[in-house]
Structure 1
Amino acid sequence: MVQIVTIETSSLGDRSYLAHDAEVAVVVDPQRDIDRVQALAAELGVRVSHVLETHVHNDYVTGGLELAQATDATYVLPAGSDVEFEHTSVADGAVLEVGGMRVRVLHTPGHTHHHVSYVLADTGGGVRAVFTGGSMLYGATGRTDLVSPDDTVALSHAQYRSVRRLAAELPDEAAVMPTHGFGSFCSATPTSGDASTIGEQARVNPALTLAEQDYVDTLLAGLDAYPAYYAHMGPINRRGAAPVDLSPPEPVEPAELRRRIEAGEWVVDLRDRTAFAAGHLAGSLGFELSINFVTYLGWLYRYGTPLTLIGETPEQVAEARRELVRIGIDEIAGAATGDIETLADGRPLRSYPVTDFAGLAKAREQGPVQVLDARRNDERARGYVAGSQHIPLHELADRIDEVPRGEVWVYCGSGYRASIAASVLDGPGRHVVLINDSYDAANAAGLEDERPTEGPSASTRRSPR
C-alpha cells in the first residue's frame, strides 16, 4: 500500500513529501535541513531510493543533493535544470519504477521553463497523487515572473496549459500535492485549503475555470514584490549547496555585541516584538522568531553582512539557525543569550511604546500624528489609514530619510512587519510608536480611507503576514 507523508515548512509556505511502499521511499522537493527527512524515514523503517525535484527552487535552498548523497539515492531533476553536479535528468513521459510505486514525469512549464510534475501510481497503474511543485496549487498557480521579465507572459500562458493538461490526463480522485502555496510568495494569487484533488481543482482553480487570456490577466495583476533573497536561491541550487551546518554559533560577550553594532554589523534580536519594544540594545534589529521570521529577515538582509543573533535561550538561537540555512544564510558570526539587561553591560536600553489602532484614533483626537504604513503595494491599494505615509518594509532601509524626524507611528497587517520597521527606525531623533494590531481594527477605529492609491490594482495575493 503506497503511503504519502507531508513534511511542512510553514515558515516558507512550502511542503516536502515522502512517498513509500513500506520498504523504499521517494522524497519530493526536500528542504535544506534533511535531518527531518532522515528521522522520518528511520521512523517508518524505509530506505530512500530516489530524491525528486520538480524544479530548481527560487524560494529556498534544496536539501536534495545532500540527501541523495547521504542515502545513496538517485537524484532526479528535470531536463533543462542546468545544474553543475551529477544527477539523473528526466523529461516528459519518463517513468521511474521504485519498489511498489511507479512515478511518471509530466513536463508542466510555467513556474519555470523546465518545471515537471510527478504522477505517483502503484504498480497496478492506479494513480494516487500528483506532486505539482509550483504548477497547480490549491485554488491558484505558481507565479511566473521569477525567471525573467521577458519570459513572464509566455510562462503565464504555459502555466495555464500545464494545469489544463494535469486536469485532462489525471483522474478526478488523484490527490494534488503542491510544494508551494501555503503562504509562499511563489504563489501568484492566494491559495486556499490544506488538501485537494484534481476534481476539486477543476471547480475552483482559475486556470481551469477562466478563459486563457482572463487567467493570464488575473495572474499578472496579482504579481507584486517577492523577497529579495530569491535572487540567491537559484544560483545556490544550480551550483549545489554545501552540507548543512546546524551547529551552535560561537558565544558573543556583551562588549563584543556593542562593538559589532557600532561597526554596522547586523545584530538581530529574536525575542517577542513587545519584549523588544520594552527594552533592547541600541542599534540592534528586532525580528521576532515566529512564522514570518525567515521571510522578512531574508528579504531585508544583505547577504555577506556579518550576522549575530540575540536570543533568550540557546534553543531559540538553534531554531533561528535552522530557519536561516533554509535560505542559504549559513555564516552566523555568533550569538548571545540571556537577560537583555545583562547583555546591555551597563549601557541604557532603548525602548518605545506599543499600542493598537484604537490608541492611534485617540492620539489623533489630540492633534496630527505622523503614521507610516509598512505594508506592500497590493495591500495599500485595498485601503489604508487616512493621511499615512507609505513605504513598504522591504524598501524602508533605502528610503529611511523620507520618514520625518520626531514621533512616527508604524503599522502593517498584523504588527509583525511594523515591529521590524520600528526597530529599523528607532534611533536618535525619532520617537517610534508600534501599532501592534490587526489592520482589520483600523476600520473599526474609524481610521481607514478606502480610496485606492497609486500602484498595482487591488488584486489580492495572500493574507498579510
Structure 2
Amino acid sequence: MQIEQIYTGCLAQGAYYITSNGEAAIIDPLRETQPYLDRIERDGVKLKYIFETHFHADFVSGHLDLSKETRAPIVYGPTAKPEFEAIVAADNQLFEIGNIKIKVLHTPGHTMESSTYLLIDENGKDYAIFSGDTLFIGDVGRPDLAQKAASMTQEQLAGLLYHSLRDKVMTLADDVIVYPAHGAGSACGKNMSKETVSTIGDQKATNYALRANMTEAEFIKEVTDGLLPPPAYFGMNVAMNKKGYASFENVLDLGLKGLSVNEFETIAEETGALILDTRNNSDFAKGFIPQSINIGINGDFAPWVGALIADVKQPIILVTELGREKETVTRLSRVGFDNLVGHLDGGFEAWKKAGKEIDTVNRITPDQFKAQVKIGESKIIDIRKQNEYSAEHIEEAFNKPLANINDWIKDIDPKEHFFMHCAGGYRSMIAASILQARGFRNFSEIEGGFNAIAKTDIPRTDFVCQSKI
C-alpha cells in the first residue's frame, strides 16, 4: 500500500493518490488530470475509484475528466445529488482497492454530503482518514457554505458538524492518520495549521474544536465566531462541481490561442473582456496595457482571481510572462475561470514594440515614503488582512483589506491623495491596478510594502504576536 499526498500550495489543497496490489484510488483531484494519469502509467495500476469528499467550493475538481479518461466511477457520500453518473454511497459502505478497503463515513456539517473516507489496511486495521473539509489540522470546516442549499443556518450546520466529529471521527483510534483536503491559506477554514498531516490523537490534544468535554453550544459559538464572508466565486465552483463543466483540454486550447497586438486590442475594446496581467508586480509597475488588472502568477494567484474577479463567466484575455501561458491557464481553470479568449502573443514587450499606449503606477520607495509622509496628516491605507494589521502597523494608518476593495473603493475621495501598502507589494499592486482601471490615480503605492517600511524609523505600533490576536 502506498499513499501520496499531492499538495498544491496556491490553493492550499491536498489530493490523494493511493495504490494497493495493482489498483488505485484518487481522492479530491484537481482540474488537470495529467499528473494523475502519469502516476497511474508509471505504477502500472488501474484506477478503480475517484472519491470526492464533497462538492468543493474553492476549486473545480478533475473528477469528470478523470472518469472519462479512465472509466473509473466517481464516488460521493450519502445525500449527494450530482447531475452526472456517479455512485452515491451509503454510510459505512466499503470499497475495495487491491488489498485495502475504503469505508465511507458520512460527516455532514461543512456541507450536507460531506464525507470522511476511512482507509482500512491489509491487516484490517483502521489506518488513516481522508477528512476533506470536515477536519483540518488545527481546525474544522466552516459551516456556512451550504446554508442556501441546505436551507439551514450556519449554527444548525455547526451542530451537525459537532456530532459528525464526536460520533464518527473522534471515536477512531489515536494513531489513525489524518489527511485533510486543505492547509493554511485556504478560505475553507479560519485557523488551519501549516502542517498537512497529523493523527487523531494529536488533533484531540491540540485542535480547539476537538476539546474534551466541549459542549455543542460551545462548539457552535467558537466555530462560527469570526468567519469572514466566503469569496464570491465559491458558489459558482460548487455549481460546476455538481453540474459539470467544459473539458480542461478545451479550456487550455482557448487560453493558449496567441493573439496579435491588433487582435488583442480589438478584443479588449469590443468585447468587454478583462485584461489580466500576471507578471511580477515590479514589472507591472513600470509599464502595462491601460485598464489591465495585475494578479501575479508568483503568489496566491488563483484564490485572488476568484475573490476579486468573482464571476467565473467573465471573458478574460491574458498578458503573461513568456513561457508561462499554460501554467496561467491551468491555474485559472482550477477555480473555474474557463471563459478565456486567448493571450497576447509575445507578451507585454510585443505591445510596447508596437508603440501602443502604456500606463504606469506611481510606486515609491520606503525612503521616498518616509520623506513625504506626515503621520497624523497624511492618509495611509494598509490593505493587509485585519490580523496582520492588528499585529503591527504604521501609526494612524487605516486598515482596508484587499478582499474588501469593492466595498471601500466607493468611499475614496478622488481629490485626496493617499499612500497604500500591503506586506510585500503583491497585494498593493493588485489594488493599484483595480483603482487605476476605475479612474483613481490619487495615490502612491509603496514598493516592498510593510516588510520594507519596517526597516525605516517610520512610527509603528508595538508588535503583537498574531497567534494571540
- Superposition TM-score, scaled by structure 2 size: 0.88
Q: How does 1:27-426 map to 2 (within 5 A)?
A: 27-148=26-147, 150-209=152-211, 211-212=214-215, 213-245=217-249, 246-247=252-253, 248-263=255-270, 264-301=272-309, 302-313=311-322, 315-338=323-346, 340-344=348-352, 345-355=354-364, 359-365=368-374, 368-377=377-386, 379-380=388-389, 384-397=393-406, 399-405=408-414, 407-426=417-436
Shift of 1:272: 0.4
1:295-319 residue CA offsets vs partner (Å, 9 max, x unmatched): 1112121333221001121x31110
What letter matches 1:168 in structure 2? M
- Letter aligned with residue 350 of structure 1: D
Number of paired residues?
454
Structure 1: distance between partners of 2:50 and 2:91:
17
Please report the TM-score for the alignment, with normalisation by the length of structure 1. Answer: 0.89
Counterpart of 2:247 in 1: which secondary structure? coil
Secondary structure in structure 1 of the residue aligned to 2:275: strand
User: CA 1:273 to 1:192, structure 2 compared with 1: closer, same or farther past 3 Å?
Assistant: same
Question: How far is 1:459 from its partner?
Answer: 8.7
User: Which whole-Å CA distance do the structure 1 matches of 2:225 and 2:367 have between them?
Assistant: 33
Distance apart, 1:341 and its partner CA: 4.2
Q: Once the two structures are aligned, what percentage of the paired residues are identical?
A: 28
Which shifted more, 361-370 or 167-176? 361-370
Q: What is the distance in 2 between the residues matched to 1:172 and 1:438?
A: 44
Residue 336 of structure 1, CA deviation: 0.8
Structure 2 vs 1, CA of residues 412 and 221 (structure 1 numbering), >3 Å: closer, same or farther? farther
| CA distances 1:39-59 after superposition (whole Å, capped 9, x unpaired) | 111122211101111111111
CA distance in 2, matches of 1:249, 1:135: 37
* Structure-2 separation of matches of 1:190 and 1:441: 27
8 Å CA contact 1:419, 1:436 repeated in 2: no
Aligned counterparts of 1:403 and 1:422: Cα–Cα separation in 2: 13
* TM-superposed deviation, 1:364: 1.6
Question: Structure 2 regions of 5+ residues with no counterpart?
Answer: none
1:219 and 1:349 map into 2 onto residues whose CA distance is: 48
| Cα offsets for 1:60-118 (capped at 9, x unmatched) | 11111221221111211112112111111112211112221111111111211221101
Alpha-carbon spacing, 1:158–1:333, altered in 2? closer, same or farther (3 Å): same
Matched letter for residue 11 of structure 1: C
Give per-residue Cα distances to partners, 1:208-261, cap 9 Å, x unaligned.
226233333222223113221102011111112232122353222223333444
Q: Distance in 2 between matches of 1:192 and 1:124?
A: 32
The two structures, once aligned, show a CA RMSD in angstroms of 2.7
Query: Does 2:445 align with 1:434?
Result: yes
In the alignment, is the contact (CA less than 8 A) between 1:30 and 1:62 conserved in 2? yes
- How far the C-alpha of 1:401 sits from its partner, in A, is 4.1
Which amino acid letter does the alignment assign opposite residue 65 of structure 1?
Answer: L
Q: Which moved more, 1:331-340 or 1:380-389?
A: 380-389
SS in 2 for 1:106: strand
Maintained 8 Å contact 2:21/2:98? no
Letter in 2 for 1:279: G
CA distance in 2, matches of 1:227, 1:30: 21
What's the secondary structure of 2:5's corresponding residue?
Answer: strand
1:455 maps to none
Offset of residue 450 of structure 1: 7.3
CA contact (8 A) 1:174 1:198 kept: yes
Q: Measure, in 2, the Cα distance between the counterparts of 1:23 and 1:13.
A: 30
Q: Deviations over 1:138-190 (max 9, x none)?
A: 11111111111742112222223322335533222221111122421111323
297-306 or 350-359: bigger deviation = 350-359
Letter of the aligned partner of 2:405 in structure 1? L
Contact 2:183 2:196 in 1 (8 A): no
Inter-partner Cα distance in structure 2 for 1:419 and 1:324: 19
Say if 1:257 and 1:267, in contact at 8 Å, map to a contact too. Answer: no
User: Which deviations, in whole Å up to 9, do the C-alpha atoms of 1:268-305 show, x marking residues without a partner?
Assistant: 11110000001111211111112311111121213332
- Whether the 8 Å contact between 2:319 and 2:347 is mirrored in structure 1 is no
In the alignment, the residues of structure 2 paired with residue 436 and residue 195 of structure 1 have an alpha-carbon distance, to the nearest angstrom, of: 36
- Paired residue type of 1:255: N
Unaligned runs of at least 5 residues, structure 1: 453-457
